[in-house]
Structure formats: structure tokens, C-alpha cells
Amino acid sequence: MAYEPATSASPASASTTEGGTSSASAGDATQPPTAIVTGGSKGFGRELAAELVRQGWVVIIDGRNGDRVARTAREVGAIGVPGDVTNPLHRQSLVGTARRTTGRLDLLVNNASTLGPTPLRPLVDYRLDELREVFETNVIAPLALAQLAVPLLAASGGAVLNLTSDASIEAYEGWGGYGCAKAALDQWTNVIAVEERGVRAWALDPGDMRTDMHQAAFPGQDISDRPLPASVVPAALALLRHRPPSGRARAVDLLAAAHQVTAADQVTAADQVTAVR
């Protein structure tokens, strides 16, 4: 089922944020829905970008490895903008690309993240400069990008989708730096939701996935039993399709709900076939 952008009540008022970038007027309804997916050159970001493109979206991806970004963009049909989300000029470039390409933005996916120093270490042994780097990538950069994107998102009734973790609400040994940063990400997601009524804001916990980051957390261990990132994409699509209230969501719950709906539809279809016969 393709995504249908929400109808915006009115354009967001003009505002200026980081670097003097001013907000745009209402999104162009004649243009296809548009998404920015940070960290979209591999893992979950790549799989989500590919599916959105298949559904008719214009998708802008980024990543620090320019060659990988260009290759992924070519393979999935996205627009690649190489760079680091902690760089203010790069963030402006991402939003500027959406503005120049379609004049609208319907979805910002803050997927780019860092685990922090590995092997994972106790908080009392965490170097504070390393902790600041984790917060810069996982909290500050996504918020700064949202500040730039919200005017466009509000104009099209769009959404912010932040990738979080169960480490934000559970105490796991060694995961303190990452977990604290994701907890802060969760909280600014909640605050944006009540401050920007025209924009949905979700924090999605995808669960364990078979990604480079997860492997880095468990060096030398076999993580082949973890789900592939593609298996989690339907959870994100469910948020876009049903547009539940802003808040925190777990992929496992969204996928279970989708499975129940599918099973109910199959039963209904079977009943209808029986009735015809």
C-alpha cells in the first residue's frame, strides 16, 4: 500500500535556524512524497530507502563513505548526498536537496548513529570526549537536522522517525553511553511531538538486527541469528500508513499487529468465498 501524504492545514510560519536557512511554504502537492534517510547507504537505512523508492517516493540518502553512498543511490534509485550528519553544512545540503528537487519533505528518518568506543566499556571508564561524540551524533545532529526540516515537514503534514534502542530504557552493562544518548533522543522526540502539532514524531525501536553496528557490539560473535534489516522495514511502513499518535514504538509490536490484520483479512476473504459458493 503506497503512502498518501497528509493534508496540511496551513504553511508553517517562516523561521530561521542553523546557518540562516529559512523555512519554505506549503509542500507542492503535485510532487511525489519526499524523504531524507540518514545513514541510508547500508543496513536498515538502505532497506527502508529502497522500499520507499519502490513505492514512488523521492528519497535522499547520506553516509560518510562517498563511494558507498553513490553506489547505493544508483542501485536503489535514491539521491545520494555524501557527508557526516554532525556537519552543519551537510545538514543544510540534505534539506536543500529536498527543497530543490521536489519543494517538499514528508519524512525525516534519523537513522545514522554511532555505537561509541568498542569494545563496550562501563560508564565510569568512558572518556568524556568520546561520550560527547556519541551525543553529538545520536542526539545533537538529529535534532539540528529536524530543526531545519520541520518547516517543510509541517507544510506537508509529515513526520520525523528517529531510530532508537531498548538500551534507552533498559540498563545493559557496557551500553551506558549509547543508551543515555538514545534516551535523550527519545525525549526530544516526545517534546517535538507536543511543540510541533503539525508533525508526527516517532521513536522506533527496531530490535536487534544483523548490522555492522550490532556486530561491532559483539566482536567475534556469530550474529547470524539476528533478523535482517529488511524484515524490520514493514514496521516503519506501518507507522507511515496508519499514522498513530506520536511517541515510542517497538518494531516487534508493529509487526505483530500487522500480522494479526493480515490474518483477519485472510479469514474475511475465506468467509466471503464460502458465502459465494
Rg (CA), the chain: 19
pLDDT at 9 exceeding the cut of 90:
no
Say what the pTM is. Answer: 0.83
Alpha-carbon dihedral of residues 243, 249, 250, 251, nearest 10 degrees?
Answer: 20
Per residue in 11-56, pLDDT tens?
Answer: 333 333 343 333 334 567 789 999 999 999 999 999 999 999 999 9
Per residue in 145-196, pLDDT tens?
Answer: 999 999 999 999 999 999 999 889 999 998 899 999 999 999 999 999 999 9
Using the Cα atoms of residue 159, residue 66, residue 113 and residue 232 in order, give the sign of their dihedral: positive
**Residues in a beta bridge with 247:** 202
Per residue in 198-252, pLDDT tens?
Answer: 999 999 999 776 666 666 665 777 767 777 889 999 999 999 999 999 999 999 9
pLDDT for 277 equals 32
Averaged pLDDT for residues 124-132: 96
pLDDT for 2 equals 46
Q: How far is CA 17 from CA 65, 67, 119, 266, in A?
A: 27, 30, 37, 49
pLDDT for 17 equals 38
Amino acid identity of residue 256, one-letter, is: A
210-219 long-range contacts, CB within 8 A, separation 24+:
211/42, 211/43, 211/44, 212/42, 212/43, 213/43, 213/113, 213/115, 216/115, 216/118, 217/115, 217/118, 217/120, 217/175, 219/118, 219/119
Task: Name the average pLDDT for the chain.
Answer: 85
CATH code: domain 17-276 is: 3.40.50.720
Q: Which residue has the higher pLDDT, 255 or 18?
A: 255
Amino acid identity of residue 32, one-letter, is: P
pLDDT for 143 equals 98
